[in-house]
Amino acid sequence: MVNNFKWNVDGFSLGKPSPSGIGGVLRNHHGHLLGMFSVPVGILDSNIAELRAIVKAIELSASNCLLHHQHLIIESDSANVISWMHKSHNHP
C-alpha cells in the first residue's frame, strides 16, 4: 500500500531482569530503509523491553512530521505485549 510505513521492533534482555536493549527498523512500502534505532534501556525483563521498543517507535513516528497522517504498522514478535495492547486490563 502506498504511504504505508512499517516498524519492525524488538526488545531483548539477558535474563529476568538484566541488562536490556531495544531496536527498530522503519521501512516504506517499497521496503526501503528510512530509519532505525538501537538503545540500551537498563535493567528490565524481555517483555518490558519489547514494550519499550514499541513505545520508542511511536515516539519517533510522532516526532517526524513526514509520518503524520500516514498509515503506520508496528510489528513485534512478542505475543505477551501484543496481548497487553489489545486488552488493557490484562497487563502488569
pLDDT (0 to 100) of residue 19: 96
| Cα–Cα nearest to 80, from 37, 49, 56 | 49
**CA gap 24, 73 in Å, rounded:** 12
Provide the pLDDT for residue 91: 62
* pLDDT for the residue 60: 93
Helices and strands (DSSP H and E) totals, the chain: 2, 4
Query: What three-state secondary structure class fits 23?
Result: strand
Residues of the chain short of pLDDT 70, as ranges, are: 1, 88-92
Distance CA 31, CA 88 (A): 32
pLDDT at 1: 65
Q: Which pLDDT belongs to residue 66?
A: 79
> What per-residue confidence (pLDDT) applies to 65?
84
The C-alpha cell that represents 74 in the structure block = 508496528
